[in-house]
Each structure stands twice: as C-alpha cells, then as structure tokens.
Amino acid sequence: MEKNCAPLRIGFIGAGRLACTLARAWANAGEIVVGASSRRAESVAALVARCPDARPFNTAAELVDQCDLVFVTVTDTAIEEVSNAIAWHEGQFVVHCSAACEIDLLHHAKQCGAEIGGFHPLQIFSDPEVAFLHLAGSSVAIEALGLLQLQLFRLASAIGMTPLTLRAGARLSYHLAGNFAASGLLALLLEAEELWEDCGFERRTALLALLPLSFGTLNSAAQLGLAKAVSGPVSRGDSEMLKRHLALAASRETGDQLYRELLVRLIQLANSSLRLTPDQVTELRAALNGAARRIIP
C-alpha cells in the first residue's frame, strides 16, 4: 500500500449497530467498503444491505486479506481474542472502536507489522438509523500515529465528524466523561420523572414535558457555555428556595445525595459566571451545608 492518503479498502470484523452505521456512512461518502465478517450471518447481511458494493465474508481471515483498513467492532471483551486469531499483514491498519479499552489490545496486529489505533464516535448507536442521521456534526476520538492518524482524520471528515486526538492512556477517563454526558442525563431525568409522578402525572407525560427543558438547557450550554447556562435558584442566589428544595429531597427515599452532589457543582459554575455576589455564594453554600440529610439505613 502506498504511503499516502489515497482511499482504503475498508472492512469490519463484527457487524453490529456501530459497524452498520459507519459502513453505511462511508459507503455513501464514496469510500471503499469491502464487507464484513461476523459470527452472526444476519448482522453481516444487514451491513451489506446498507452498502451496495460490500459483500459478506465467511471468516475474518478472508476479509482481512482483502482490506487495507480493518475495524474490529466486536465487544470489548472479545477485541484481543479476535486480534490474536488473525495473521495480519505488514502495512495494514487495524483499529478498534472501544471507548474505554486501550489500543494495546491490538498488540498482536502490531507485532505482525500492522499499524494500530482507536476510533470512537461520540454518539449513541442504540438505533443505527438514528445514529446515521446524527453522525455528521458529532465528534470522534482518534488515537493513532503517522499515516493511520491522517487516514482516520480523513475518514472522519468524509462523513462530517469532528476528529479529536486522544492521547495514550486516557481512554478510561474519556469513557467515564462520556457516560456522565450521555446516560448520566437519564439518571437525572429519572429523578425528575419520579418527582412529577408524585404530583399526579403519568411517567410518559412527565418525560415528554421535561425533555424540552433539557434540550433548552443543552442548547444554552452550546451557545453560552456551562456557567452561563445555569438556571434556577442557584443562578439567582436564592438560598431560601434552595433550603426548601433540600428539605424535600431529604424527605424522599431517593435523590437526596444526588441533589447535594449536583448543587456543589452548580454553585461552582454559578460562582464562575460572575453573576453572584460573594455573599450570595456564601449563603448558598451555607444552605447546602446546614440542611438536614436523609439518613440512609
């Protein structure tokens, strides 16, 4: 393979939702998607159906022989086993798409002369159709060196993604941050949903009413930054309302500790926005520190 950024023959070992989404996006962008192999024939069939020129391969070895760049899109626990079972070629590129696992899991491919890396799209892939629509504009964390890094950056740009360089050894912190920003929001919405249920609303009604509020907050954060997007009693320095919130949280079976932890961070953010006076910040912290806590049995 010539050492340039010419188009690569791309293959996937593993044909789950992530692989199907990426394969379709690159095929639509004019990249060469050779095909995929998987233990599940139906998964390969679904991927191939989205990529007109791609074909199924019976084994990973057969696929690898036809590709310049192979994405190992299996479960995290299977990455090393799959990599170790392949006779990689010198000059090939081998990449996994795990957020938390280090690229050292591909050490066997490196020993065979391949260049290894990581490519993790910062997006949700619960539904490949929805994920496909949201790839453009999303970021992707890339860990690679040299020509492989250039190629992965090129491939990210080809489907409208913003490439980010992830340094070696940082993947677990990166993954934890992603969980806070993604599923962490769901835990907060669950608390809000339960509070509205106490008000007499059905869960579904509560969620549909609360989501636009969440979207509005996220849009404000995108436009103004986190600190200036803070709203509610903390943003106004309203320590009396905060005391009432804390008393209610302490009376409930869940949510007290969660709300306290959130308030610590929210007060920090509000303080950094310079909207509050020093006295207001002191009163907010005093309200938090002085409020009764629910005793966990």
Please tell me whether residues 31 and 171 are part of one structural domain: yes
**Environment class of residue 278 by beta-carbon count within 10 Å: exposed (0-12), middle (13-18) or buried (19+)?**
exposed
> Within this chain, do residues 64 and 192 fall inside the same structural domain, yes or no?
no
175 and 262 inside one domain: no
Domain boundary among 179, 214, 233: 179
Are residue 253 and residue 106 in the same domain, yes or no? no
Instruction: Render pLDDT for 42-52 as a digit per residue (tens, 0 to 9).
Output: 999 999 999 98
Judge contact between 272 and 235, C-beta under 8 A. no
163 shares its domain with 187: no
**Letter for the amino acid at 284?**
L
DSSP secondary structure string for all residues of 231-283: -SHHHHT-HHHHHHHHHHHHHSSSSHHHHHHHHHHHHHHHHHTT-S-HHHHHH
State pTM to two decimals: 0.84
Q: What is the pLDDT of residue 126?
A: 85
**Alpha carbons 230 and 43: distance in angstroms, whole number:** 44
Chain mean position to CA 4: 30
Residue 2 confidence (pLDDT): 41
Domain residue limits at 140 = 9-179
* pLDDT for residue 127: 86
Whether 64 and 139 map to the same domain: the answer is: yes
Write the pLDDT tens digit of every residue in 172-213: 999 999 999 999 999 999 999 999 999 999 999 999 999 999
pLDDT digits (tens, 9 = 90+) for 126-169: 888 888 999 999 999 999 999 999 999 999 999 999 999 999 99
CATH of the domain at 97: 3.40.50.720
In a domain? residue 2: no
Residue type, 173: S
What are the Cα distances from residue 74, in Å, to 38, 78, 83, 96, 149?
9, 6, 10, 8, 21
Whether 24 and 148 map to the same domain: the answer is: yes
Q: Tell me which of 156, 179, 202 is where a domain ends.
A: 179
**Domain identity same for 188 and 168:** no
Domain annotation covers residue 3: no
Asked if 39 and 166 sit in the same domain, the reply is yes
Question: Which band of pLDDT confidence, cut at 50, 70 and 90, is reported for residue 278?
Answer: very high
Q: Of the candidates 18, 33, 150, 29, which has an alpha carbon nearest to the alpha carbon of residue 96?
A: 18
Number of domains in the chain: 2
Give the confidence band of 9 by pLDDT, cuts at 50, 70, 90: very high
Please tell me the distance from the alpha carbon of residue 77 to that of residue 81, in angstroms, as a whole number.
8
Q: Which of 110, 144, 179 is the last residue of a domain?
A: 179
pLDDT tens, position by position, 63-117? 999 999 999 999 999 999 999 999 999 999 999 999 999 999 999 999 999 999 9
